[in-house]
């Protein structure tokens, strides 16, 4: 809704009552809330409601008749000072609630009694000349009681065979799920992962990560201990008109692949009946072109859905940023700052970040600079987006 501002032009001691839904966190978000604020605080409240995707039911002031409004996403007063405050939803329809977290399966299998999945495929995702080793590995989950199922954005645990240096069974490692809930073959009983083998040098010796090496080496037919699923941080909103910005480096692409398959892979779309009509924008960082993961699929989605999908790559060892240095994902964020923020101002936009923990400061810096250019304060905005469940981060 757009609030008439004709009479709201100065500090006059009036109080405003705002009845709002889908605002706040947890239980608060599910209940209708009545907030009373003085004129001075109305603008910032409207801004916060807009950023959190809240819907205003009624707005009234001490000298205005209460106005019942249809459920609609908040748009702050037109004279609001900052660009974010002028955010308006791009669609007239009401945003659907995000996935109900209560319906998301969690810990169907625990470390003490894991599910034994069977490897059905294991192949390299890298092209010739790539750095390192990254594999796509699929497990059959059929036959479990309960059936191990999951939704896009979750992770599973893998317990590698063997024992640690103390003779104890290895602990589980988490991996982001790279397949949609229907599985790559749409048979509803497989899960796929995208695993990079951890390798580093110590005292002149090459050390291989325990679980990542176990997975990259595994042969079809092998049985693997699987736990989970876990995680509610990276769930996709249900809204078919949501906008989704994805920031991924390396295997951080795994959850993004699940979102993009759910949105754009024809057979998956037929199966899931979820008719995504919003916009998706993937920023992918890799050291070399040969290290881009699932690149052919994403190029195809971009060709087939040019109105809905943008794919922006940052290839650090092959491209240069504006300062002549290596091109990292944060440089691409800065280059596209204006547009990224105009997306973020729309309450239907969610941002997802996944990859190595080291990517966070660079992205934060870029978002901060981009926000400043728009007259916004990222340090204030980010917690608001997080509270509104629109800023999703999973780094490791």
Ligand X SMILES: Cc1cc2nc3c(=O)[nH]c(=O)nc-3n(C[C@H](O)[C@H](O)[C@H](O)COP(=O)(O)OP(=O)(O)OC[C@H]3O[C@@H](n4cnc5c(N)ncnc54)[C@H](O)[C@@H]3O)c2cc1C
- 175 catalytic? Reply is yes
322: Cβ–Cβ under 8 A, 6 or more apart, which residues?
Answer: 331, 335
- 396 catalytic? Reply is yes
Among the listed residues 333, 337, 340, 344, the one whose alpha carbon sits nearest the alpha carbon of residue 385: 344
Q: How far is the CB of 290 from ligand X (least distance, A)?
A: 17
Alpha helices in the chain (DSSP H): 26-30, 39-51, 210-217, 253-264, 266-272, 295-304, 329-335, 337-344, 359-373, 378-387
Q: Of 194 and 337, which CB lies nearer to ligand X in the complex structure?
A: 194
- 354 catalytic? Reply is yes
Q: How far is the CB of 158 from ligand X (least distance, A)?
A: 8
- Helix, strand, coil tally for the chain in percent (to 5): 25, 30, 45
Catalytic residue among 176, 179, 212, 316: 176
Q: Of 52 and 249, which CB lies nearer to ligand X in the complex structure?
A: 249
Interstrand relation of 115-124 and 134-140 (parallel, antiparallel or unpaired): antiparallel
Q: How far is the CB of 155 from ligand X (least distance, A)?
A: 5
Q: Of 27 and 200, which CB lies nearer to ligand X in the complex structure?
A: 200
- 176 catalytic? Reply is yes
Residue nearest to ligand X (CB): 209
Interface residues with ligand X (CB under 6 A)?
A: 155, 173-176, 194-196, 198, 200, 202, 209-213, 251, 254, 394, 396
How many H-runs (helices) and E-runs (strands) does the chain carry? 10, 17
Q: How far is the CB of 390 from ligand X (least distance, A)?
A: 20
Q: How far is the CB of 175 from ligand X (least distance, A)?
A: 4
- 328 catalytic? Reply is no
Catalytic residue among 109, 175, 294, 301: 175
SS3 track for 129-186: CCCCCEEEEEEECCCCCCCCCCCCCCEEEEECCCECCCCCECCCEEEEECCCCCCCCC
Q: Of 37 and 210, which CB lies nearer to ligand X in the complex structure?
A: 210
Q: What is the DSSP annotation of 217-237?
A: HPPTT-EEEEEEEE-STTPPB
Q: Of 91 and 197, which CB lies nearer to ligand X in the complex structure?
A: 197
Task: Determine the Cα–Cα distance for residues 193 and 135; give it in Å rounded to an integer.
Answer: 8
Q: Which residues are catalytic?
A: 175-176, 354, 394, 396
């Amino acid at each position: 809704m757009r609030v008439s501002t004709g009479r709201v032009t100065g500090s006059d001691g009036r109080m405003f009552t705002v009845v709002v839904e889908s605002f706040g966190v947890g239980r608060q978000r599910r209940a209708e809330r009545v907030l009373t604020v003085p004129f001075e605080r109305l603008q910032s409240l409207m801004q916060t409601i807009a950023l959190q995707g809240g819907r205003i039911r009624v707005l009234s002031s001490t000298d205005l008749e209460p106005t019942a409004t249809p459920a609609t996403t908040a748009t702050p007063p037109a004279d609001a000072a900052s660009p974010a405050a002028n955010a308006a939803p791009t669609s007239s329809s009401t945003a659907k609630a995000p996935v109900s977290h209560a319906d998301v399966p969690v810990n169907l299998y625990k470390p003490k009694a894991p599910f034994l999945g069977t490897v059905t495929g294991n192949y390299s995702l890298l092209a010739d000349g790539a750095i390192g080793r990254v594999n796509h590995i699929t497990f059959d989950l059929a036959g479990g009681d309960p059936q191990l199922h999951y939704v896009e954005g979750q992770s599973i645990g893998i317990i590698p065979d063997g024992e640690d240096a103390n003779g104890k069974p290895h602990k589980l490692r988490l991996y982001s799920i790279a397949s949609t809930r229907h599985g790559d073959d749409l048979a509803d009983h497989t899960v796929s992962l995208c695993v990079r083998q951890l390798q580093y040098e110590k005292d002149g010796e090459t050390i291989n990560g325990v679980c990542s090496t176990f997975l990259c080496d595994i042969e079809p037919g092998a049985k693997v201990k699987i736990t989970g699923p876990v995680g509610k941080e990276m769930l996709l909103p249900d809204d078919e008109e949501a906008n989704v910005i994805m920031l991924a480096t390396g295997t951080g692409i795994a959850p993004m692949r699940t979102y993009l398959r759910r949105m754009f892979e024809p057979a998956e779309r037929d199966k899931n009946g979820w008719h995504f009509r919003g916009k998706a924008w993937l920023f992918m960082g890799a050291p070399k072109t040969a290290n881009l993961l699932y690149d052919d699929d994403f190029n195809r989605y971009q060709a087939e859905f040019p109105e809905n999908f943008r794919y922006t790559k940052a290839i650090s060892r092959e491209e240069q940023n504006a300062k002549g240095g290596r091109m990292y994902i944060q440089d691409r964020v800065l280059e596209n700052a204006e547009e990224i923020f105009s997306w973020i101002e729309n309450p239907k936009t969610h941002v997802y970040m996944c990859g190595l923990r080291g990517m966070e400061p660079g992205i934060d810096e870029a978002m901060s600079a981009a926000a400043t250019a728009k007259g916004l304060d990222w340090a204030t905005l980010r917690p608001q987006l997080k509270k509104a469940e629109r800023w999703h981060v999973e780094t490791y």
